[in-house]
Structure 1
Amino acid sequence: MKILRNILGFFLSLLLLSFITFSLARMAPGDPLVSYYGERAEKMSEQEKARSRERLGLNDSLMVQYGRWLEQAARGEFGLSFKYKRPARDVMSRRIMNTFLLGGLGFVLVFALSLGIGTFCALHEGSRFDRFMIRAGTISACIPEFWLCLLLILVFSVTLRWLPSGTAYSTGHEYDGMDRLVHLILPVLVLVISHVWYYAGIVRNEMIAELKKDYIVLCRANGFSTGQIVRKHALMNILPTYLSLMAVALPHITGGTYVVEMVFSYPGLGMLAYESARYHDYNLLMLTVLFSGALIMAANLGVNALAGRLDPKLDAEKVIRQSEGEWF
């Protein structure tokens, strides 16, 4: 019953997201004919523009247009991209892997490092390293991602000329793995710096609270080493909270990935969403927004289900409050 309720909620949320995006896109100022025809649109007469809008279905009412789009989407057809003159699905499919590579690598590094740093700080509470991490976390949380992108480009690309300043690969090196890796260094670094200290702080607090519980004292009395206590008991007990924290963090890191893509001109979904919104490419914008929303909602459902199996008593609201609160 709970699974059916989650599935129903998933599709209703997607439906609501699609209607909101559809409505806002068409209410935004601008002419989609410019996206479709380019500079030719400025030279077209009013009669030609009217015929073009009729052919593209832009003269119908909002609800008629939405109903037509919804019917096509139910069949897996998402219309033609005005800017690229190709099916929106084909355009997006060429960008998905770039975003998965950047966002996935950033996500894994953020949570691998936050778990290690947070646990180390908890075991050395009050040490110089712990105090340094608290200050570093506070500072990094106040730095806007776009500003950090520009700073790293200025230092490592313009001044030192060590790393490329944008795109996913050099011209002619699309299938060169090492070249792609070099282009990923700065974008991934921005994602890690922007998020790792915040989540490491939450892990630190959870671990400190766990290490002060009575059963830890009993383990120490029975001769267990600190490493054994952390690996076999403390980490396992905070794991459900950690998994739920990852679910809560997914929208934040995804949004950060899209910002990074725009600044670095990285050809992913974030750059595609920006271009489709800028050029009023309605069909492409709808597809990128819906895909992003579906990915985040599906990941949240999956991670929360896994966390619930590990610890049925897990209070999801507690995790959300912690993620929205102060770093320490």
Structure 2
Amino acid sequence: MVPYIIRRLLIAIPVLLGVTIVNFIIINMAPGNPVDMYVDPNTSQELLNLRKEQLGLNDPLWVQFFHWLGNLVKGNLGYSFSTYEPVSKMIVERIGPTFQLTFLALIVGLIIALPIGIISAVKQYSKLDYFATGTSFFGISIPHFFLGLGLIYIFAVQLQILPAGGMSTLGSEDDIFDKVKHLILPVIVLAVGIAGQYVRYVRASLLEVLGQDYLRTARAKGLKEMVITNKHALKNALIPIITIIGLEIPFLLGGAVITEQVFQWPGMGQLTIQSIMSRDYPTLMALNLLTAFMVLFANLFTDILYSFVDPRIKYK
């Protein structure tokens, strides 16, 4: 197992380098630049050029990239072009709220999806199965921003029982119940999409396993259907689900970008939108690098988790 992990980590280095090169080129190909976004229209061209020179924007693209890469090797992610804060400090402040939101949404989504998917598979082609399948398509199809705005209108504007946005009420930053109230709506928005996806995955995976010969043998021996499903079928059916969960974790940030913006949640999703709007190259590069690292780590974590779920899988 240890040699396998070391090999995977060594392979991750050139992959991350390739990702940073592609991201750097795409980000710099976007029209506009940070200086043009934050200057008065009457500012002289000489001052604009001076500011671009100070930020290194007049250098060739390859020079800018190697300058950024050199700072990265030293552990320096640079400074934001819009706020002039260290990028590492900005990410550390935002990463906690994002992981808190996405982790809770993933847990809630799985708690909803697993039992519904199991029941839908066991009761195949029943009215309950059709209802669960139809509801899952609804969860996948409804846009996050539309659902979020709808929930805000119902629970924050009309009923006034939940806050419309933010992470806490001013003056109640240490109140755990206040934070929970602010979490409810954004977690519901993300969890609906997650549950909609995983109901179908669990159902399809379990149906495939339920048709195996060894389960027919278990039924022939007189085992109860609940024991067959929960003890024998579900464990094998979870193997492809683990793959999907592991690969889904980094891409939860994609949904969090919209959800955080709708609910003004101070996480990395909101920071991403702000960085794009302000052409904040150092912050965007750091966010892309972090996302790429999370994808690679999620793949490695999924492979390791396989060996615990199925002892037959060995890595050398």
Match of 1:6 among 5, 8, 17: 8
Asked whether the equivalents of residues 121 and 129 of structure 1 are also in contact (C-alpha less than 8 Å), the reply is yes
Instruction: Report the counterpart of residue 165 of structure 1 in structure 2.
Output: 164
Matches within 5 A, 1:218-237: 218-237=217-236
Say which SS state the counterpart of residue 59 (structure 1) adopts: coil
Letter in 1 for 2:134: R
Q: Distance in 1 between matches of 2:16 and 2:23?
A: 10
- TM-superposed CA distance for 1:34, in Å, is 5.1
Q: Distance in 2 between matches of 1:7 and 1:272?
A: 28
Matches within 5 A, 1:221-260: 221-260=220-259
Task: Please give the per-residue CA displacement for 1:243-284, whole angstroms capped at 9, x wherever unaligned.
Answer: 112123224423112221122111100100110111011111
Q: Distance in 2 between matches of 1:256 and 1:286?
A: 19
Say which SS state the counterpart of residue 94 (structure 1) adopts: helix
RMSD: 2.0
Asked whether the equivalents of residues 84 and 91 of structure 1 are also in contact (C-alpha less than 8 Å), the reply is no
Q: Distance in 2 between matches of 1:304 and 1:256?
A: 24
Task: Please give the per-residue CA displacement for 1:299-322, whole angstroms capped at 9, x wherever unaligned.
Answer: 1221123225644888xxxxxxxx
Q: Distance in 2 between matches of 1:175 and 1:61?
A: 48
Match of 1:24 among 23, 26, 45: 26
Say which SS state the counterpart of residue 92 (structure 1) adopts: helix
The answer for unaligned runs of 5 or more in structure 2 is: none
Instruction: Percent identity, please.
Output: 33
Q: 1:112 to 1:300 in 2, by over 3 A?
A: farther
Q: Distance in 2 between matches of 1:279 and 1:286?
A: 13
Say which SS state the counterpart of residue 81 (structure 1) adopts: coil
Q: Distance in 2 between matches of 1:149 and 1:304?
A: 34
- TM-superposed CA distance for 1:69, in Å, is 0.3
Say which SS state the counterpart of residue 169 (structure 1) adopts: coil
Q: Distance in 1 between matches of 2:112 and 2:209?
A: 19
Asked whether the equivalents of residues 114 and 197 of structure 1 are also in contact (C-alpha less than 8 Å), the reply is yes
Instruction: Report the counterpart of residue 108 of structure 2 in structure 1.
Output: 109
Matches within 5 A, 1:56-75: 56-75=55-74
**Length-normalised TM-score, structure 2:** 0.91
Q: Distance in 2 between matches of 1:224 and 1:272?
A: 54
Asked whether the equivalents of residues 240 and 308 of structure 1 are also in contact (C-alpha less than 8 Å), the reply is no
Letter in 2 for 1:227: M
Task: Please give the per-residue CA displacement for 1:35-84, whole angstroms capped at 9, x wherever unaligned.
Answer: 6xx45x54532222222211111110000000000000011101111222
Letter in 2 for 1:12: P
Task: Please give the per-residue CA displacement for 1:147-182, whole angstroms capped at 9, x wherever unaligned.
Answer: 221222222222222221211111122222211111
Task: Please give the per-residue CA displacement for 1:88-129, whole angstroms capped at 9, x wherever unaligned.
Answer: 101111111100000111112222322221112222223322
Instruction: Report the counterpart of residue 81 of structure 2 in structure 1.
Output: 82
Instruction: Report the counterpart of residue 196 of structure 2 in structure 1.
Output: 197
Instruction: Report the counterpart of residue 301 of structure 1 in structure 2.
Output: 300
Asked whether the equivalents of residues 250 and 298 of structure 2 are also in contact (C-alpha less than 8 Å), the reply is no
**Length-normalised TM-score, structure 1:** 0.88
Say which SS state the counterpart of residue 29 (structure 1) adopts: coil
Q: Distance in 2 between matches of 1:105 and 1:19?
A: 33
Say which SS state the counterpart of residue 235 (structure 2) adopts: helix
Q: Distance in 2 between matches of 1:300 and 1:167?
A: 32
Q: Distance in 2 between matches of 1:65 and 1:161?
A: 50
Instruction: Report the counterpart of residue 45 of structure 2 in structure 1.
Output: 46
Q: Distance in 2 between matches of 1:203 and 1:299?
A: 20
Asked whether the equivalents of residues 273 and 289 of structure 1 are also in contact (C-alpha less than 8 Å), the reply is no
Instruction: Report the counterpart of residue 321 of structure 1 in structure 2.
Output: none
Flag as ranges the 4+ runs of structure 1 deviating above 6 A: none
Asked whether the equivalents of residues 241 and 307 of structure 1 are also in contact (C-alpha less than 8 Å), the reply is no
Letter in 1 for 2:219: R
Letter in 2 for 1:151: G
Letter in 1 for 2:128: F
